């Protein structure tokens, strides 16, 4: 087990906190609790690397204007190529490429939920009877049966 250099822990608050914790903790027999700082550095570096990875989402319009599909890609280039493929292969419109953190995109339900959000965005409205832009005249017409309207 190696001790970190002073600049390493000072530059990384997590390692500094781990070192302070280890300096104050003792085994049940009184020996100081030691820490493998090289391993801690590796774990933190892997977490930092994972946090900066991205996936790329393209929403594609389907055969009708209410069909939406989520396409996931590992690279921006693949996502951009997919947009052209949708256009050229079926004249389907697509969203701009949306960058998504890998930690979110790796959730097993993410892509299905992305499609549901895209579909829901096409069908927005006020809650029943709560349209602040409705006029009383329009409300009165709506309450008269169709056959009775001129």
Give per-residue pLDDT as tens, 105-144: 999 999 999 999 998 888 888 888 777 777 665 555 555 5
Are 34 and 1 in contact by the 8 Å Cβ rule? The answer is yes
Dihedral-angle region of residue 91 (phi above 0 means left; psi in -120 to 50 means alpha; beta otherwise) = left
pTM, 2 dp? 0.54
Pairing verdict, β 68-73 and 98-101: unpaired
With residue 114 as reference, give the H or E element that holds it: helix 110-121
Q: What is the pLDDT of residues 31-69, one digit of tens each?
A: 665 656 666 777 777 777 766 789 999 999 987 767 899
Q: How confident is the model at residue 93 (pLDDT cuts 50, 70, 90)?
A: very high
Domain ranges of the chain: 6-52, 54-121
> What are phi and psi for residue 145, nearest 5 degrees?
-55, 145
Coil/strand/helix, residue 27? coil
Distance CA 71, CA 87 (A): 14
Are 72 and 111 in contact by the 8 Å Cβ rule? The answer is yes
């Amino acid at each position: 087990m190696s001790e970190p250099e002073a600049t390493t822990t000072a530059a990384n608050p997590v390692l500094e906190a781990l070192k302070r914790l280890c300096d104050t903790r003792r085994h049940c027999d009184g020996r100081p609790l030691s820490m493998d700082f090289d391993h801690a550095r590796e774990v933190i570096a892997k977490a930092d690397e994972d946090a900066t990875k991205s996936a790329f989402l393209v929403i594609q319009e389907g055969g009708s204007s209410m069909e939406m599909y989520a396409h996931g890609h590992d690279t921006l280039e693949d996502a951009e190529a997919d947009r052209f493929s949708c256009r050229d292969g079926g004249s389907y419109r697509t969203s701009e490429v949306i960058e998504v953190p890998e930690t979110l995109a790796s959730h097993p339900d993410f892509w299905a939920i992305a499609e549901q959000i895209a579909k829901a965005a096409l069908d927005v409205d006020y809650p029943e009877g709560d349209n602040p832009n409705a006029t009383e005249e329009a409300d009165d017409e709506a309450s008269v049966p169709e056959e009775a309207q001129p």
